[in-house]
Amino acid sequence: MKKVVIIGAGFGGINCAKELSKDPLLEITLIDRNNYHLFQPLLYQVATAGLSPAEIASPIRSIFSKKSQVKVILDEVTDIDRKNKKVITKSGNLNYDYLVVACGSTHSYFQNPEWEEHAPGLKTLEQATEIRRRILVAFENAEKEIDPGETQKYLTFVIVGAGPTGVELAGSISEIARQTLDEDFRHIDPSKTKIILIEAGPRILNMFDEKLSEKAMEDLKKMGVEVRLNLRVKKVSNEGVETELEKINANTVIWAAGVKPSPLGAKLNTPLDSSGRVVVNQDLSIIEDPDIFCIGDMARFDQNGAALPGLAPVAMQQGRYVAKIILNDKNERPRKKFVYFDKGAMATIGRSKAVLQFGNIKISGFIAWLSWLFIHIYYLIGFRNRTIVFFQWAWSYFTLQRGARLIIDKDWRLKK
């Protein structure tokens, strides 16, 4: 019986394991540091109190509860021994015949790791709940503050990076301030909240058509978001952000500017590109080792002269493809090259506002927002999650309220 070890239960790892589990003669081991699969595209909803963590995460064991050949291990991989075909974890070693590395990515602070303390990124549930805490505490502190300058500092939010995550966060914070919290405070006026979106490039959402980027920027401005383009951040501290042109006093800074692949790629002792991604062959195997595959954000795969982006659809298609390669190897069928089918891109800006691009089809506004909503619900794992998220969004849409406005202190110990 062939042993397949999959590291990482993100979109790539989960889809690979699902496809492989169709063969009862494979022994599949899925390793992850968390006991849940996280639907990362909706993390910003947790960070802005639209959804609770359990609504965008599913226990990995429940996903494979009826697949007896899939073994789930909660552990952390520390090294990979290619010579002896072993995965080394904190708890011990695992042998493999095939290895699939799908560990995703983390935030890049461009050689300034000290910025993370002052500007958390948005890749994990822990980061999402911390951002939510910081946002809600900022309003609470502003309500108590007597000094107008300090009040404005609490009511200033800076988001660095205007890709989909940055744009979605900016729009969502604007809705919290101007709709959800509008009547909740007595001393402050939440509608006076200042939201600043900083982008080093010439436009926001640069992966979209220029007209859609302009439409998204127009929508953000109507929502009260200040968009500042061609501006680089020089420093982040507890006082706010320093750019090439000015210092912005802000109590809350959120980082959405860059990512870097998991450092586990370096443990493979195989060529990496300039950003640290593993260079893979046309069948997604690593150079000089056809039994190890690297997929998702960790992999550098070029198609039509450009590297594939670190998106969920890419990881999902690669996960299913690698599973089929492994199944075909068992039956001694030749390997075909991986070809990514681009299903388009979408980003939501706010209530009834979104942009969608698929080939020559370019849509913005309510129709794009509806499409974004239903596609995201469709890809959520588990009927319960889909149902809860649908009704949560419907309730939020008609009432302008957010049901997850909980401030959870990081200190779990009983306070005296």
Contacts of 31 (CB under 8 A, 6+ apart): 5, 6, 7, 8, 9, 73, 75, 77, 87, 89, 94
Cβ 35 vs Cβ 74: under 8 Å: yes
The predicted structure's pLDDT at residue 367: 93
Residue 200: helix, strand or coil by DSSP? coil
Domain extent for 23: 2-107+259-330
User: What is the Cα–Cα distance from 129 to 122, expressed in whole angstroms?
Assistant: 10
Asked if 230 and 180 sit in the same domain, the reply is yes
Catalytically annotated residues: 168
Contacts of 133 (CB under 8 A, 6+ apart): 407, 408, 409, 410
Asked if 79 and 199 sit in the same domain, the reply is no
Amino acid at 128: A
Cβ 224 vs Cβ 178: under 8 Å: yes
Where a domain ends, among 237, 257, 277?
257
> Is residue 336 domain-resident?
no
The CATH number of whichever domain residue 244 belongs to comes to: 3.50.50.100
The predicted structure's pLDDT at residue 50: 86
Which of these, 285, 346, 283, 361, lies nearest to 313 by C-alpha position?
A: 346
The predicted structure's pLDDT at residue 136: 95
Asked if 297 and 307 sit in the same domain, the reply is yes
Asked if 92 and 16 sit in the same domain, the reply is yes
Asked if 125 and 248 sit in the same domain, the reply is yes
Beta bridge partners of 263: none
Which of these, 160, 159, 169, lies nearest to 349 by C-alpha position?
A: 169
Handedness of CA 106, 109, 112, 118 (dihedral sign): negative
The predicted structure's pLDDT at residue 402: 67
Asked if 244 and 119 sit in the same domain, the reply is yes
Buried b (16+ CB within 10 A) or exposed e, 103-133: bbbbbbbeeeeebeebbbbbbbbebbbbbbb
Neighbouring C-beta atoms of residue 192, cutoff 10 Å: 13
Task: Read off the DSSP letter of residue 95.
Answer: E
The CATH number of whichever domain residue 308 belongs to comes to: 3.50.50.60
Asked if 325 and 253 sit in the same domain, the reply is no
Q: What is the pLDDT along the chain (416 residues), one digit of tens a residue?
A: 899 999 999 999 999 999 999 999 999 999 999 999 999 998 999 999 888 888 889 999 999 999 999 999 999 999 999 999 999 999 999 999 999 999 999 888 988 999 999 999 999 999 999 999 999 999 999 999 999 999 999 999 999 999 999 999 999 999 999 988 888 899 999 989 999 999 999 999 999 999 999 999 999 999 999 999 999 999 999 999 999 999 999 999 999 998 899 999 999 999 999 999 999 999 999 999 999 999 999 999 999 989 999 889 999 999 999 999 999 998 889 899 999 999 888 999 988 899 999 888 999 999 998 888 888 877 777 656 777 777 776 677 656 666 677 788 777 566 65
Where a domain ends, among 287, 313, 330?
330
Cβ 47 vs Cβ 135: under 8 Å: yes
Neighbouring C-beta atoms of residue 227, cutoff 10 Å: 21
User: What is the Cα–Cα distance from 174 to 133, expressed in whole angstroms?
Assistant: 16
User: What is the Cα–Cα distance from 233 to 159, expressed in whole angstroms?
Assistant: 11
**What's the structural domain count of the chain?**
2
User: What is the Cα–Cα distance from 173 to 358, expressed in whole angstroms?
Assistant: 28
Asked if 164 and 217 sit in the same domain, the reply is yes
Where a domain ends, among 214, 240, 257?
257
